[in-house]
Structure 1
């Protein structure tokens, strides 16, 4: 028997073993849900081609969705601590399924606006609940690996879902809404049946976000996260515009280069998550943000598909480093009975970044590619420096 055959089981145990069964139910549900996430990547195309909305009306609809998403994470954080992790996650997924179908069958602008606002409100309700469940179920030493595996499942599912969604959209957009709805229901049922409720005594979970906002370390970490998220959000806001309108790549060339991001994450991230989990969280997070900032700064020099792929490889390396770290830091900072609220504030930073990214990136791109990408690189490096300064306070926790 070869050494490779002997080592394979121990290798798999080191990457996948040691995590409780309920975590794997959560992981499986996340993968199924992301495999079925087909609507959002094609929302703009659906609104303009299938529903005949103007670009201005489509922008209004997406803005309403953003407004709902801003409220979503704060509401979900409170619900996670008050009614429970499992109930919030399953309820959010069921609400997402109903809203997806309502949006798919809406034909008037008022109905589409109402459906998109509610969808923004419910589609990511699961995130604070999922983050709190991992913190409740998994030991501190294994949390970086657990959060990293969830990140891996999201990216794997999303990559497959986007590919299938593009094909199905050509047959009929309504298929995308039904598949998204069914995957949401499956996620809800799997979590309800296979994941125990882990919420601490409900009597401790009173009050709003005031107690979280009084935690200066968490507020500082949220601001750092906002900077990091603002840089990353350029990948789905201004990067496609810059590459197709300024560099003059075709959509096919841009898509081919962006596929490298998913491929690298799926292949590399599970291999390094255990090693990264043994590093100091704040220093690892700072390193990842700095590398991402460098990758985006280098985008200013892109003139070809190959050049874009090279910069994507750089910032994807940073993304892989940060993958399981942020959730681990939130779990360290949050008291057990407030993990939902802390995760909600963390999620709010990402929702805010998605709203701000085009508002900041658009004017900068009009000034020139260098203005946009050097600014984003600077924001990434500044966020990394802030993380290093905050590191001692996090380690004291």
Structure 2
């Protein structure tokens, strides 16, 4: 299995620079995420505007989640089969149309069906963007490039959370139009400024999902990713419920969680060059262990300051991990399957995130000691898995580069 070694379109003397198409992709991503106001507040909209019951809102969100889970693999397959540029542009235009229809829909059946379509398209940019970076950026610079994309997503998301809250209170239907508009803007930026990057002649041999499922090493990486997803997603599922019982009120919880975004925006760009010089498998293992330790320390939290400290710990691990998984996946994937590998990787993270509330709520009644020790062990297992797959990943990459 060959490793993609296509070089970025920059002058040889400027090897530390990222190519212009990457920066245009980054810009489009920031624009898109800045206006991504629907997803964080969709459940609120369903209850307060559509007047759905909690069970109906939960069902719609579940269907939306299933669509999002499938979107990773579907978009990755399309990117390998029909090209990155067409897939990303088409996916964003389809997401925009789904946004508009969902904002106009009423009634449980129509809203549910449209929410599935939105879920199926809204995450399509992720595996496609990963494949574009793998095509354009040299292997040594990929951790930095993927880390910058992660930073851009969080930069935009911090704005979207504020804007979405305002729309949820003052114009819930308008937020669908805003989100649809930024998706169209993202599509326009990509179509205008990001050329097709898929290596010539790969479309006929690409898009084979079965090849990924037969790659045991890739499946091992996916298991590690799923474990990390189950660990990290506790921040948005079990954590707010648990710390309320441990004495932290909602206002203080929100302030502590805001620290996560502040640290990512302020610190993550400073780590890119250092992370790029390290082995991504070891960085993934170390970072996951730090995230696990941060959540395990939550057992001792009884006030906002203690919570802020644990958030700072697991955020530091999250920051260094940012570009590692896509870097590893890009190294394992052959040229013809960069999108498909990225899609399977994204789906594995989403699967872990879906498991997060199942694990967390099962442990929650047993008390904070058992809960956070259990969550910490999930993270420790994921970190150990990252170490175990690291050696085989390095050997495959070395063999492919020699060949």
How much does 1:124 deviate?
Answer: 0.3
Tell me the equivalent position of 1:11.
none
Tell me the equivalent position of 1:103.
102
* Counterpart check, 1:68 vs 2:44: no
Q: Distance in 1 between matches of 2:232 and 2:364?
A: 16
Describe how 1:380-395 pairs up with structure 2 within 5 A: 380-395=379-394
> Which range is displaced more, 161-170 or 87-96?
161-170
Does the CA-based 8 Å contact 1:169-1:175 persist in structure 2?
no
How much does 1:242 deviate?
Answer: 1.8
> Which range is displaced more, 130-139 or 44-53?
44-53
| SS of corresponding position for 1:52 | coil
Q: Distance in 1 between matches of 2:231 and 2:335?
A: 30
Tell me the equivalent position of 2:338.
339
| SS of corresponding position for 2:18 | coil
Does the CA-based 8 Å contact 2:140-2:276 persist in structure 1?
yes
| SS of corresponding position for 1:328 | helix
Tell me the equivalent position of 2:46.
47
Check 1:278–1:175 CA distance in 2 against 1; reply closer, same or farther (3 A cut).
same
Q: Distance in 1 between matches of 2:157 and 2:115?
A: 20
RMSD after superposition: 1.4
How much does 1:17 deviate?
Answer: 6.1
Tell me the equivalent position of 1:350.
349
How much does 1:353 deviate?
Answer: 1.7
Spell out structure 1 runs of 4+ moving beyond 4 A: none
Q: Distance in 1 between matches of 2:233 and 2:205?
A: 32
Tell me the equivalent position of 1:229.
229
How much does 1:140 deviate?
Answer: 1.0
Does the CA-based 8 Å contact 1:64-1:116 persist in structure 2?
yes
Q: Distance in 1 between matches of 2:242 and 2:180?
A: 33
How much does 1:203 deviate?
Answer: 4.4
Q: Which runs of 5+ in 1 are unaligned?
A: 1-15
Q: Distance in 2 between matches of 1:44 and 1:28?
A: 28
| SS of corresponding position for 2:123 | coil
TM-score, normalised relative to structure 1: 0.93
Check 1:207–1:99 CA distance in 2 against 1; reply closer, same or farther (3 A cut).
closer
Does the CA-based 8 Å contact 2:151-2:268 persist in structure 1?
yes
Does the CA-based 8 Å contact 2:207-2:340 persist in structure 1?
no
Describe how 1:25-174 pairs up with structure 2 within 5 A: 25-174=24-173
Tell me the equivalent position of 2:197.
198
Tell me the equivalent position of 2:277.
278
How much does 1:130 deviate?
Answer: 0.3
> Which range is displaced more, 98-107 or 288-297?
98-107
Tell me the equivalent position of 1:319.
318
Q: Distance in 1 between matches of 2:66 and 2:265?
A: 32
Check 1:53–1:73 CA distance in 2 against 1; reply closer, same or farther (3 A cut).
same
* Counterpart check, 1:292 vs 2:308: no
Tell me the equivalent position of 1:363.
362
Does the CA-based 8 Å contact 1:217-1:390 persist in structure 2?
yes
Q: Distance in 1 between matches of 2:58 and 2:108?
A: 12
- 1:35-84 per-residue CA deviation (whole Å, 9 max, x = no partner) reads 00111111121111111111111111111111112211111111010011
Check 1:257–1:394 CA distance in 2 against 1; reply closer, same or farther (3 A cut).
same
How much does 1:135 deviate?
Answer: 0.6
Tell me the equivalent position of 1:219.
219
Does the CA-based 8 Å contact 2:80-2:203 persist in structure 1?
no
| SS of corresponding position for 2:346 | helix
Q: Which runs of 5+ in 2 are unaligned?
A: 1-14, 398-403
How much does 1:371 deviate?
Answer: 2.5
Does the CA-based 8 Å contact 2:167-2:174 persist in structure 1?
yes
Q: Distance in 1 between matches of 2:306 and 2:209?
A: 44
Q: Distance in 2 between matches of 1:366 and 1:54?
A: 25
How much does 1:202 deviate?
Answer: 3.9
